């Protein structure tokens, strides 16, 4: 097998490297900067040039080398290349070829172009390792324009009533994507420190974001009653939030497609937005690879694997430590206010 599945992560024997390992290894190829895929402690890292700033921001002075999309690199007996995954800026699928056999590890991905991340590109292969965070037919994402209209209408209504709008979302990827959907003419946009720190990294890469104000301890939180406040999910309902006075809370996640989830999050509004592929996206991605064998990891693995088997694929399940998109703060656990 080109890639094997171990208790440290996805391993390539021919190249003696791991892909997104969750335990310390000698050589790690990293698909993107979320904490469940990029961890500290490896002796050497390889990631895309556009993923590097976030990796250094989150992991510090790591021994990191970079590669451009589509560039081939020979590592031992394996030929490796990175290809856009569309998940967050710099995210990649990793193509590994050994003796003419090609495997692709997708990491996390989405197939729609969000205008922020490098758009997903299908990669032909014999075996595809896919996520299945939202691997059920119920999960279908609205288009960007409809989503922007929905969020801005909620914000404008709150601002007119003198309420702040709190929107909970992950600090890497989701927050910046939401920011680009907002209409800055409605009111000021404020950000939690975890969000603003990542914004600075993204802006330094040349990606455009609207003007934001970092919420510092000396900021008069009630000076902008109609503001939009972007914060990690953990900040919703916290003492940090209560300093703003009257407010309406929203949560941005693919899980908002499910009834009852918003109530469990104690949010007034739920917005269906995810940086993972929906059901149609997953199926389109698998089909576009031309793969005969598919390994399914994290999410609805049993259901999606069974569906792929019914469609004629040689499908199996791989157990990993990847979290996908959760309803807690797993991906932002290292971030403080």
pLDDT in tens, 43-85: 999 999 999 999 999 999 999 999 999 999 999 999 999 999 9
Contacts of 31 (CB under 8 A, 6+ apart): 19, 20, 37, 47, 85, 91, 92, 93, 94, 105, 106, 107, 108
In this structure, the answer to whether residues 194 and 134 fall within a common structural domain is no
Domain end among 229, 256, 271 = 271
In this structure, the answer to whether residues 31 and 117 fall within a common structural domain is yes
Model pLDDT, residue 235? 81
Over pLDDT 90: what percentage of the chain? 84
Is there a domain that residue 188 lies in?
yes
How many domains would you assign to the chain?
Answer: 2
Over pLDDT 70: what percentage of the chain? 94
Is there a domain that residue 312 lies in?
yes
The sign one gets for the Cα dihedral 283, 10, 109, 268 is: positive
Domain end among 254, 271, 288 = 271
Model pLDDT, residue 303? 98
Domain end among 240, 256, 271 = 271
In this structure, the answer to whether residues 123 and 241 fall within a common structural domain is no
Looking at every residue in the chain, the average pLDDT score rounds to 92
Model pLDDT, residue 264? 56
Residue 142 pLDDT > 60: yes
In this structure, the answer to whether residues 127 and 56 fall within a common structural domain is yes
In this structure, the answer to whether residues 170 and 184 fall within a common structural domain is yes
Residue 148 pLDDT > 90: yes
In whole angstroms, what is the distance from residue 270 CA to residue 127 CA?
36
**Helix H or strand E encompassing 129:** strand 127-132
In this structure, the answer to whether residues 166 and 43 fall within a common structural domain is no
Residue 152 pLDDT > 90: yes
DSSP state of 7: S
In this structure, the answer to whether residues 131 and 10 fall within a common structural domain is yes
Residue range 292-310: mean pLDDT, rounded:
97
Specify the CATH number for the domain of residue 208.
3.40.50.10710
In whole angstroms, what is the distance from residue 11 CA to residue 2 CA?
8
In this structure, the answer to whether residues 239 and 252 fall within a common structural domain is yes
In whole angstroms, what is the distance from residue 50 CA to residue 173 CA?
13
In this structure, the answer to whether residues 8 and 133 fall within a common structural domain is yes
Within 10 angstroms of residue 64's Cβ, the number of other Cβ atoms is 17
Whether residue 93 contacts residue 10, with contact meaning beta carbons closer than 8 Å, is answered with no
Is there a domain that residue 337 lies in?
no
Is there a domain that residue 89 lies in?
yes
Specify the CATH number for the domain of residue 8.
3.60.15.10
Model pLDDT, residue 337? 32
pLDDT in tens, 156-211: 999 999 999 999 999 999 999 999 999 999 999 999 999 999 999 999 999 999 99
> Which residue would you say has higher pLDDT here, 21 or 260?
21
In this structure, the answer to whether residues 109 and 19 fall within a common structural domain is yes
Is there a domain that residue 225 lies in?
yes
Whether residue 255 contacts residue 325, with contact meaning beta carbons closer than 8 Å, is answered with yes
| DSSP string of 192-231, one letter each residue | -HHHHHHHHHHHHTT------EE--TTS-TTSSTT-EEEE
Residue with tokens 């495997």: 103
Is there a domain that residue 304 lies in?
yes
- pTM of the predicted model over 0.85: yes
In this structure, the answer to whether residues 193 and 255 fall within a common structural domain is yes
Is there a domain that residue 54 lies in?
yes
In whole angstroms, what is the distance from residue 86 CA to residue 116 CA?
9
Model pLDDT, residue 215? 93
Model pLDDT, residue 252? 93
- Per DSSP, the three-state class of 32 is coil
Contacts of 310 (CB under 8 A, 6+ apart): none
Expressed as residue numbers, the domain containing 222 is 144-271
- Per DSSP, the three-state class of 27 is coil
What band does 243 get if pLDDT is binned at 50, 70 and 90? confident
Is there a domain that residue 248 lies in?
yes
What band does 327 get if pLDDT is binned at 50, 70 and 90? low
Structure tokens at 140: 């279908």
In this structure, the answer to whether residues 29 and 121 fall within a common structural domain is yes
């Amino acid at each position: 097998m080109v890639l094997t599945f171990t208790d440290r992560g996805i391993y390539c024997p021919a190249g003696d490297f791991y892909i997104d390992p969750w335990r310390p290894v000698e050589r790690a190829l990293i698909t993107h900067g979320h904490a469940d895929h990029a961890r500290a402690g490896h002796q050497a890292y390889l990631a895309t040039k556009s993923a590097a700033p976030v990796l250094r921001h989150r992991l510090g002075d790591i021994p990191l080398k970079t590669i451009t999309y589509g560039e081939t690199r020979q590592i031992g007996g394996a030929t490796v290349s990175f290809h856009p995954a569309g998940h967050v800026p710099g995210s990649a699928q990793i193509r590994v070829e050994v003796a003419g056999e090609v495997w692709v590890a997708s990491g996390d991905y989405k197939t729609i172009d969000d205008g922020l991340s490098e758009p997903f590109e299908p990669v032909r292969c014999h075996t595809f390792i896919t996520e299945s965070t939202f691997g059920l037919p119920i999960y279908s994402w609205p288009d960007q324009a409809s989503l922007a209209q929905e969020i801005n209408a909620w914000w404008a209504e709150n601002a007119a009533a003198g309420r702040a709008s709190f929107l909970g979302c992950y600090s890497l990827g989701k927050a910046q994507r939401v920011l680009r959907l907002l209409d800055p003419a409605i009111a000021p946009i404020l950000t939690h420190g975890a969000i603003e720190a990542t914004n600075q990294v993204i802006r330094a890469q040349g990606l455009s974001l609207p003007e934001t104000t970092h919420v510092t301890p000396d900021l008069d939180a009630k000076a902008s009653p109609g503001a939009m406040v972007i914060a990690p999910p953990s900040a919703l309902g916290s003492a940090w939030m209560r300093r703003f006075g009257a407010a309406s809370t929203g949560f941005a996640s693919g899980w908002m497609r499910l009834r009852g989830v918003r109530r469990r999050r104690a949010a007034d509004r739920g917005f269906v937005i995810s940086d993972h592929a929906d059901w149609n996206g997953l199926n389109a991605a698998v089909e576009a690879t031309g793969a005969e064998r598919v390994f399914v990891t994290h999410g609805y693995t049993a259901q999606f694997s069974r569906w792929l088997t019914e469609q004629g694929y040689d499908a199996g399940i791989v157990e990993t430590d990847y979290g996908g998109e959760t309803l807690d703060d797993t991906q932002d656990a290292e971030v403080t206010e």
